[in-house]
Amino acid sequence: EVQLVESGGGLVEPGGSLRLSCAASGFAFNTYWMHWVRQAPGKGLVWVSHVNTDGSTTTYADSVRGRFTISRDNAKNTLYLQMNSLRDEDTAVYFCAREKVTTDYWGQGTPVTVSS
């Protein structure tokens, strides 16, 4: 069974940092592109970033480029999102998702709150 389990969310002050993790199981993690997507309270889904199978190619939404870094450890079957210089508007539930054609399996999400 495909499972994606996010962790690392929490409350952080503006300007702070967090690292999210997404533990994958039930599939060949190293053969899939992986994504982060977020949903702010009361808002819709917004794509954040994706990474190719070996981590050599990454893409970011304009709103996070230069502040967030996506990476993966295929030996640990884990996807990461390093978030720096956090802003109020980064408050959201962050989902990791696997790509097969497009994002087919999603985790339950981890909430991030940026507030002083």
Restricted to residues 25-84, the positions that interact with other proteins (CB under 8 A) are 35, 37, 44-47, 50, 59-62
Helix, strand and coil content of the chain, in percent to the nearest 5, comes to 5, 55, 40
User: At its nearest, how many Å lie between other proteins and the CB of residue 13?
Assistant: 27
9 contacts other proteins (rule: CB under 8 A): no
Cβ proximity to other proteins: between 32 and 95 the closer is: 95
Cβ proximity to other proteins: between 27 and 105 the closer is: 105
Restricted to residues 90-109, the positions that interact with other proteins (CB under 8 A) are 95, 101-109
Which amino acid appears at position 57 of this protein? T
Read off φ and ψ for residue 90, nearest 5 degrees.
-85, -5
What residues contact residue 53 under an 8 Å CB cut-off, 6+ apart?
30, 31, 32, 33, 74
